[in-house]
Structure 1
Amino acid sequence: MLITPQASARGTLRVKDTSKGRKAAQRALRRHWQLYLLVLLPVAYFIVFKYWPMTNAVIAFKSYNVIDGVWGSPWVGLDQFHRFFENPVFWTLLRNTFILSAYVLVASFPIPIILALALNEVRQKFFKRTVQMVTYAPYFISTVVVVSMTILFLSPRLGLANDVIGIFGIDSIDFLSRPEFFRHIYVWSDVWQTAGYSAVIYMAALAGIDPTLYEAAKVDGASRLQKIRHIDLPGILPTATVVLILGVGNVMAIGFEKAFLFQNTLNLSQSEIIATYTYRIGLLNADFSQASAIGLFNSVINLVLLVAVHLIAKRATGRGLW
């Protein structure tokens, strides 16, 4: 084989570049070893508790049993997915999960923006801080406590909601036993709990807007609504875009805990979602392979939605996650 002088020179340059890069990395490691040591534990945490367990998702393609273990169980290919797709409850689970998640997204996305814009216009600091504290505090309440409070509030005998509607001569309603109320209860209790926290993100974005824009708008005689429309909304658009993309990316990953706690046999037709069904199949029925297949299917749907919405937002607004 004939080696030309040009090829030999390119190979020599590549070796030199690799050697220089290795030496530069060694110098950086010696100079900043404290920082690398500080990062070591978090990286190890993610590898051990986040990435390594993902390898066990292989049981979605196996007929898992405890005796043979994850890698010793027999392969069944896509049989677990076929079982789930052919299950009579598949479309019900998919519909319930998608409708509930979409409802949460539609309700929870604009309200924090409206709250942040309203608080940004308040000039009395005491009132502004009070409203921030009142709306932000529910975020730190445990989901179990929020569900318990909601159940007591909607109780047909002791609940304040039925006391209020009783004033108008309406008979008491057992809200949690009627499927048509489940989604509304879930979504608006979630909005109450998270709206204040989400508004902080938009208020931080509003604080980063150039003050000279407001001064110019004041000189031009712009009203408050015009300032909001032409300065505030464009200023928080990048943040809102990222929040929306992440929200759509989690459409199928609706929270298990609150749905399970609100769930009962009477509202099961609308409260049974993929997360609660996976719990029943995996932990109660001990069908780990089927539960893993359902969870993997859910994750793939989320990934597809995330990438699709990112591409749409990138084309429409020029902004995205990457």
Structure 2
Amino acid sequence: MRKIGVLTSGGDAPGMNAGVRAVVRAAIYRGLEVVGIRRGYAGLLDGDFKPMALESVGDIIQRGGTCLYTARCLEFLTEDGQRRGYQRLIDADVDGLVVFGGDGSFRGAQKLHNLGIKTIGVPSTIDNDIGACDANIGFDTAVQTAIEAIDKIRDTATSHERTYVIEVMGRSAGHIALSAGLAGGAESVLIPEVPYKLEDVVAKLQRGVARGKKHSIIIVAEGAGHGGEIGRYIEEHTGFDTRVTVLGHVQRGGAPSATDRVLASRLGAHSVELLVQGVSGHMAATQHGELTSVPFDEVFQSDRKPDKAVYELADILSI
């Protein structure tokens, strides 16, 4: 192992920069060369490489987003695109590749592994839907961002005696909604993993009003329903003054939390160690707090679901 490439792919996640920094500095510490590949797999196909030195990653650990940029690349889904990417790495004398991203990014990394490039994936998605590990980089920050917004919305909900429906991100996973809903004291949390009936949500709101409750917060994961439609249903069936807020991409941005910075630093450095050891086709991960690696095939078969006990606790505490 003489030269390592690093790229960020798919949706950006707070902490990616901390991870890239760790890869670069851990590799240089070991006497390896590092090249950054800008704009993910699209940049790989375009040969958008830049040498990375210690100063290349200075003053980025606290920044959100990704200094290497990211992009979707449909061409890399094709066999021809994958072979072109492989050849780009061979021509640049890159012996190993670290890929920060989610499921789609890992599948691309596995294709390169199958072609002969040593690859390691680092789980980086605010959705927290990559399994076989304790957590995904960016999730903790995204939840904290959502909580800050929920707390502020609750202030105005209290002042105006309103019901607020707050839609959070997560694609088809309800992790952000559940964590933010429990921490934010929401009256109802709607996630795609648990079936729900809007009439039950309405009944719960009405019970609260009957005992003197002046405002309510409903958290809905984007994969569980459209916030606007849920808000209209509630208002039509209760007559309560109801507002809807879609937090959207604000949850992707901002300085990463200390938790995400530490996780990204550990996993980034560990990915270099794995490549040096000859490991390939694996995801760097923590399990029960300990560093390990998991074959991509096992990662793809894993299914991270929100903790049922946490969901039930959120429901109990919102009576």
Which structure: greater helix fraction?
1
Whose radius of gyration is greater, 1 or 2? 1
Alignment TM-score > 0.5, same fold:
no
Q: What TM-score, normalized to structure 1?
A: 0.22
TM-score by length of 2: 0.22
